[in-house]
């Protein structure tokens, strides 16, 4: 049985729930939110939609025990108003870390033994914290990380070289935040290195366009939802189908002892393996700096690495 739980039914959680139901990706969907009335309303709204859909999803609300036999739990609880006007995701940490402290024991107590996917910001810090507090293997807890940022990179290149972004390869590394960076040494269009398509491209301005992508989606409506919910639904599909797909997510690095965005292979067991891409010296320094920023965020939390 294909069963998924979503904890947190704000803009992202609700969009993800609708996506899973409308695409008939799951047989059972568990919805949990601190606001029971919100969870109930989402249930009824989804049931109304199901009348006109081809699939059938059983919806369960407000029941942690129902997570026991789920394959995936998606953690996207938070408070977007804490983000502020500058888009600094670390402003959410004081609130979101407390939610992790409340939710992690309930996930464990339910008997859940599947894969935890975290979306909540600051994504890399929260993924690390969730893994520490649940004690799950690092392969079974990971965040969406730079998956969405990589999509924004592909968009930016697409606009500049007039090629569909789905033909662009490569990865954004590091923090899902201001210290992220495009590993240009990994970027290709088709099978050719990016600069073979256009040697005049300004990589620094492209890098900034990628970094600003989230703000562009956020500033007019005060949140983002479609892009990140689509990332989460695709990751769920990869897990349920054991697809062995290479994708950048926030994954644990044993040497750095933190999570950060990097390419991995996703399958039924979560992170099946890591994809080692040789970074140049500038990229290595950028990654080092990004890891330090993530560690500085973790240092504010009540646990020792």
Any alpha helices (H) in the chain, and if so which ranges?
A: 11-22, 36-50, 93-109, 123-134, 147-161, 194-197, 203-219, 226-240, 281-298
Helix, strand counts (H, E) of the chain: 9, 14
87 is in an annotated binding site: no
135 is in an annotated binding site: no
List of residues 6+ apart from 298 with CB closer than 8 A: 125, 128, 129, 258, 305
Q: Which residues of 196-220 are buried (b: 16+ CB within 10 A; e: fewer)?
A: ebeeebeeeebbebbbebbeebeee
119 is in an annotated binding site: yes
Looking at the chain, how many residues does it have? 305
144 is in an annotated binding site: no
Rounded to whole angstroms, how far apart are CA atoms 248 and 146?
A: 6
> Residue 127: how many CA atoms within 13 Å on its side-chain side?
31
15 is in an annotated binding site: no
9 is in an annotated binding site: yes
164 is in an annotated binding site: no
Catalytic residues: 176
160 is in an annotated binding site: no
> Residue 153: how many CA atoms within 13 Å on its side-chain side?
27
Give the annotated binding-site residues for NAD(+): 8-13, 33, 119-121
Give the annotated binding-site residues: 8-13, 33, 119-121
């Amino acid at each position: 049985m294909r069963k998924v739980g979503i904890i947190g039914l704000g803009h992202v959680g609700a969009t993800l729930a609708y996506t899973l139901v409308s695409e008939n990706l799951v047989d059972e969907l568990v919805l949990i939110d601190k606001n029971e009335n919100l969870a109930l309303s989402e249930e009824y709204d989804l049931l109304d939609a199901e009348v006109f859909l081809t699939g059938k999803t059983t919806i369960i609300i407000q029941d942690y025990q129902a997570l026991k036999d789920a394959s995936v739990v998606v953690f996207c609880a938070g408070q977007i108003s804490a983000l502020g006007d500058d888009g600094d995701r670390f402003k959410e940490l004081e609130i979101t870390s407390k939610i992790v402290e409340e939710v992690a024991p309930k996930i464990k107590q339910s008997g859940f033994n599947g894969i935890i996917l975290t979306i909540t910001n600051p994504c890399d810090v929260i993924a690390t914290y969730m893994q520490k507090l649940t004690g799950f293997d690092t392969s079974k807890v990971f965040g969406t990380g730079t998956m969405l940022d990589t999509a924004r990179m592909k968009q930016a290149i697409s606009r500049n070289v007039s090629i569909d972004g789905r033909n662009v390869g490569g990865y954004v590394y590091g923090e899902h935040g201001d210290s992220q960076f495009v590993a240009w040494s990994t970027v290709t269009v088709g099978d050719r290195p990016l600069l073979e398509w256009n040697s005049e491209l300004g990589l620094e301005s492209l890098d900034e366009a990628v970094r600003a992508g989230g703000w562009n989606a956020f500033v007019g409506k005060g949140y983002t939802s479609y892009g990140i919910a689509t990332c989460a639904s695709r990751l769920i599909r990869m897990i349920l189908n054991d697809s062995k797909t290479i994708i950048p997510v926030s994954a644990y690095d044993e040497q750095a002892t933190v999570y950060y965005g990097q390419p991995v292979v996703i399958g039924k067991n979560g992170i099946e393996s890591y994809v080692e891409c040789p970074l140049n010296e500038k990229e290595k320094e950028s990654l080092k700096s990004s890891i330090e920023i993530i560690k500085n965020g973790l240092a504010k939390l009540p646990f020792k690495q």
